[in-house]
Structure formats: structure tokens, C-alpha cells
Amino acid sequence: MTTLLNRPGSRTEPDRGLSGRIRAVVPGRADTPTWIGYLAILAVVLAAITAVVMTGDARSARHGIDVIGHRTAPTVTSTEDLYFALADMDAQLANVLLAGNDSTLAAVRKNALATYEQRRVQADSDLQQAMTIATNGDAAQQIRVLLDKFGQYQALAADTFQLSDLDHGAAGQPSARTLAAYRSATGMVPDLLARAQKLADTNSGVLSQAYHDAEDSTVTGLTWIVVLGVLLLATLIGLQVLLRVALRRRVNPALAVTTVLAAGLLVGGYVAEGTAAHQLTVAKRDAFDSLLALRQARAVGYDANADESRYLLDPEHATDYQQSYFTKAQRLVGVQARGVDDYSAALDQALAAHGTDMTQAVSADSFLGAELRNITFGGEAAAARQSVLAYQVYQHDDHTLRRLAGTDPRAAIALDTGASNDHFAAYDKALEATIDINQHAFDAAIADGEDALAGWTDWLPYGAAVVFAVLILLGVRPRLAEYR
């Protein structure tokens, strides 16, 4: 080597500008190999640490997606579906007794028996699924209690069906012992539904906590990626500058490639985690929050529909069932109403007063009100609006039904088991369409989040760190050899 840099006693031409200032801080020839080695080792260590942190953050984000998308969300879905199935089972039990031995209502009775059996199988399947994917021991215990009580309810319902067949009661007029058996069965329903809802709330809480944990972890992880990335790039650039100034080489190809690849890795990792975090937000806030409100609306709606049948079947407790119906109606679509008698009119007035802006007509703390305020996906607004309008038609039937109950019970039963049920089915179909839109968006967001992290949880960061180490060695080894 013929170049001497700032050695004492050497006579060199004074350097000016930035290049001169850089040379002023570059170590002397005797120290240069040591500094090259230090910076090379530091770069390798930083690359390794960055790989470990990036992989750990990606795994944490992947775990959050897994907990939300494949564990707690399906459990919440199955328990909300259980609530709906239990509620409709009891509604069909009441419909069987409303039809009684009336030949004109034979089709109603047959359909109610078939639907009851369908919901029974569905509820049993929901319980089994919830048990399979239970997130903790407490949830599993709750499910076991539900299974036991569900068996008791089925036994009481079977007794009711048997007594109804034996006593051949008229439409809406079961025998005293049949009505007593029915009261025993339907008396279990509030506890069953409360337990099912508690289980859903427990798992919903687990999901929300998992989301917040993933959100916090992502912020921390992205911060560390930025910090480590700056340090790694600064070290690589510093090593490049040292070699250029000390050895008069313009560019070290291996280190230049390493720097470019490291920048690409850091940007890629940051984008991957950011994308996964965004998709998790779409899944939780935009889709799942709507799904939760909509599925609760569906479950409570079926229980309210059962209250109509209970109201007609058991006049002695009609006032209680009427109040229960009104409470559930307000949970579905909250409006300014004093009671069930003016609820339908109040709903009409609220929707007419605000036109297409249903968010102003429906209270935010009701299920459909919450959904109307969380419209995100294509077609969702129209589906949600159609759900409210179909619900409005169903409420017209309910108002007529209660008016007929006092003057023509037979006509009220015909309306309840005929047109009213048809309109409720139309409302439920619109609600299901809104649920399907959000479910599709939820599934897509979970899948996109998983795809964004593909490779970042294992081989990609570690493989990059190994490549960086090899390139750094290839870049500095020939230069160090010049000092031997």
C-alpha cells in the first residue's frame, strides 16, 4: 500500500470539504483493520437480532390472527347460533300447541315439529363444536352445564309433545297438564339463553383482549424494526464509507448488495406486519363487531318471535310475555316508544322522519343501530337497510296480532303461524344476507393477514441474516487481507 492517511510526520496535501472531514475521523492505518472487523461483526450481530425480532413479531401477529380467526370467533359464532337454535326450539314447541288438533292447522303443526327437530340437532352440534374449540377451562365447564340443562329441556319438551298428542287440545287451548308441562319446559329457556349468552360474552372478551394484545404487540414490533433497521443500515453504510476512505475504493460490491437487501428486508417486514395489523383491524372492528351485533340480533329476534306464541298460548302470563317481547324489540331496533302497543307506530314515525338516514332513526345501543353505524363493505348498507324495513313489516303484524288476541284469538293464531311467520322469515333472510357480507369480509381479512405474514415467521428473516453474514464476510475479508 502506498497511501498514508494522516500519519504523524507525513506530508500530504490538505483535504478540503466533506471528504476531508470524513478522513479526519477515520482511524489511522494501524487501527483500520480493527475497526473494519468491529463494524463487520456489529453488522452481522444486528442482522441476527433484527431477524430474531422480526420473526418474533411476525409470530406474535400470526398468533393474534389465529386466536381471533380460528379459535374465539368460531366459538362466539357457535354460541350465538346456539342461542338462536334454543330460542326457535321453544318457539316451535309453542307453535305445536297453538296448532293443537285443529285440522286446518295441521301443516303448521307438522312444520313446527320438523323445525323443532332441526333446531335440536343444530343446538346439539353447536354445543359439541363449542366444546371442541373451547378457549379455556371455565368455558368448557359452562358448556358442560349447558349440555346437562339442554338435556333436561329436551326431556320436558318431549313430555309436552306426548301429552299434546294424548289430549288432542284445540288450537291454542292445550289441556291443563299439557300447559303445565309446557310451562316447565319453557321456564328453563331464560336460564339456557342466559348461559349461552354468557359463554358468547366470555369468548367475545377473549377475542377483544387478543385483538388489543396484537395491536400493542404490532406497535412495539414496528418500532423495533425501525430502530434496528436504522442501526443496521447505519453500520453497513459506515463500513462502506470506512473502506472507501481508508482504502480509496469507490464501492464494495458485496456490502452494497447487503445494504440494498437489508433495506428491502426491513421495508418488506414493516409492510408485512403493517398489512397484517390492518387486516386484523378489518376483521375485528369492521367485520366481527358487526357480526356480533347481527348474530345477537338474530338470536334475540327468534326469542322475541317465541314470545308472540307464548303470549297467545298462555293468557295467564300474557302480560309478562308482552313486556319481554317489548324489551327484546327495543334491543333489536331501539326507538322512542312507551310500550309494545305503540312500538310499531313509533318505529314507523322514526323511519319516516329521517328518510334514508336510518342511523338517526334507530338508537345506537340497539343491535341493528350498532350495525347501521359500522357500515364498511360493499352491499352492506343496502342489506342492513333491508333488514330494518323487513323488521318494520313484521312489527305491523305483531301490532295486529295483539289487537286480534282480545277479540278473535283464532284469527290471531292464524296470523302468528301464517303471515307473521312469513314476514319474520323475510326479515331473517335480510339479516342473514347482512351477516354473510360481514362473514365473507372477516374470512377474507383473516386469510389476507395470514398471507401477508407468510415466510416472515421463520425462514425469510433468518435466511436473510445468513445471506447478510456471508456477503459481509465476502466484502471485508479481501480488504483485511491487504493489511497482512
Of 138, 455, 185, 456, which is closest to residue 313 (Cα–Cα)?
185
- The set of cell numbers assigned to 280 is 386484523
Distance CA 436, CA 110 (A): 30
pTM for the full predicted model: 0.85
Cβ 305 vs Cβ 424: under 8 Å: yes
Cβ 461 vs Cβ 269: under 8 Å: yes
Q: Is the dihedral of CA 266, 272, 275, 281 positive or negative?
A: negative
Query: At a CB cut-off of 8 Å and minimum separation 6, what does 357 contact?
Result: none
Distance CA 369, CA 378 (A): 18
Grid coordinates 329457556 are at which residue? 189
Please give the single-letter amino acid code of residue 9.
Answer: G
Please give the single-letter amino acid code of residue 434.
Answer: T
pLDDT at position 43 is 92
- The set of cell numbers assigned to 349 is 314515525
Cβ 428 vs Cβ 298: under 8 Å: yes
Please give the single-letter amino acid code of residue 181.
Answer: A
Q: Give the pLDDT of the chain (484 residues) as one tens digit per residue.
A: 344 334 444 444 444 554 555 454 445 455 677 888 889 999 999 999 999 999 999 998 898 898 888 888 888 888 888 999 999 999 999 999 999 999 999 999 999 999 999 999 999 988 888 777 665 667 778 888 888 999 999 999 999 999 999 998 899 999 999 999 999 999 999 999 998 888 888 888 888 888 888 888 889 989 999 999 999 999 999 888 888 776 666 778 888 999 999 999 999 999 999 999 999 999 999 999 999 999 999 999 999 999 999 999 999 999 999 999 999 999 999 999 999 999 999 999 999 998 778 999 999 999 999 999 999 999 999 999 999 999 999 999 999 999 999 899 999 999 999 999 999 999 999 999 999 999 999 999 999 999 999 989 888 999 999 999 999 998 887 766 666 5
Of 180, 242, 305, 137, which is closest to residue 472 (Cα–Cα)?
242
Cβ 373 vs Cβ 361: under 8 Å: no
pLDDT at position 476 is 82
Distance CA 93, CA 113 (A): 8
pLDDT at position 481 is 67
Sequential DSSP letters for 356-424: T-HHHHS-TTSHHHHHHT---STTHHHHHHHHHHHHHHHHHHHHHHHHHHTT-HHHHHHHHHTHHHHHH
Distance CA 479, CA 243 (A): 8
pLDDT at position 18 is 46
- Neighbour tally for 412: CB within 10 Å: 23
Q: Is 363 helix (H, G, I), strand (E, B) or coil?
A: coil
pLDDT at position 356 is 79
Say what angle helices 289-313 and 176-186 make with each other, to 10 degrees: 160
Q: Is 173 helix (H, G, I), strand (E, B) or coil?
A: strand
Based on its alpha-carbon atoms, the radius of gyration of the chain, rounded to whole angstroms, reads 35
